[in-house]
Structure 1
Amino acid sequence: MHVSLWNIDAQDMAANLSAEESAQRVLTLMLLWRHGVIKFHDTQDKVRTALPWLLKATAQSGLGWEDCEVL
């Protein structure tokens, strides 16, 4: 069993953030820290917009993404 602790909170459950604002928050923290585990809540509608936005925004960066189910 592997345990991964998130250190970048998308705050997608926060009522005052839109999906794009949540994604931009994650991107900013990724650029500052250069590594991390991102916490999105899959029960939130915002993640259906925020995550594709984030993947598209980082598509040409050479950034590596890992599936949490594989870890």
Structure 2
Amino acid sequence: MYRLFALALVLWVGGCTVVHQELDNRGGYVDYLADKYWWKADSKKMRALRAYALHAAIARIAMISP
């Protein structure tokens, strides 16, 4: 019960941006953050390229890390 109340409180206080970005047709909140801090992607193809580059970077880091 408390978890549900805490989730509702978090969404009410700070979740407006999350909900707005998820309802927007731009890829959601994670893509909003990637646009803001990493690499601006204006089209669906550029978002796919950004996701591919990010996956490749994470795979490279995982491969060389013990």
TM-score scaled to structure 1, two decimals?
0.30
**Higher normalized strand content (fraction of residues):** 1
Structure with the bigger RCO (C-alpha within 8 Å, sep 6+) is 1
Relative to its length, the structure with more helix (as a share) is 2
